[in-house]
Amino acid sequence: MGTGLAAVVDRWEGDGAVIRTTDGQELFIHKSQLPTGTREGVVLQITFTANKSATDKRNKVARHLLSNIKGKI
């Protein structure tokens, strides 16, 4: 299960929105990633989930690179 945070759409800039999190950080999110009908002042719930397959793939690449480096020492 993921965790999340709330953020508000502060303003639109170009092809996306600047959203402000509850701790004051600003993120730029492309409009294609936002729900239909999103406008300034809308509160968004942002959810984070771990992507196990992508993590495993990155770890495999890192192990391969490290193995190559160790082989050259």
Q: pLDDT tens digits for 10-69? A: 999 999 999 999 999 999 999 999 999 999 999 999 998 999 999 999 999 999 999 888
Give all domains of the chain, ordered by start, each with its CATH number: 3-71 (2.40.50.140)
Contact 2, 45 (CB under 8 A): no
User: Is pLDDT larger for residue 3 or for residue 53?
Assistant: 53
Cβ-based neighbours of 50, under 8 Å, separated by 6 or more = 2
The 3-class secondary structure across 17-64, one letter per residue, is EEEEECCCCEEEEEHHHCCCCCCCCCEEEEEECCCHHHHHHHHHHHHH
Q: Is the pLDDT of residue 1 over 60?
A: no
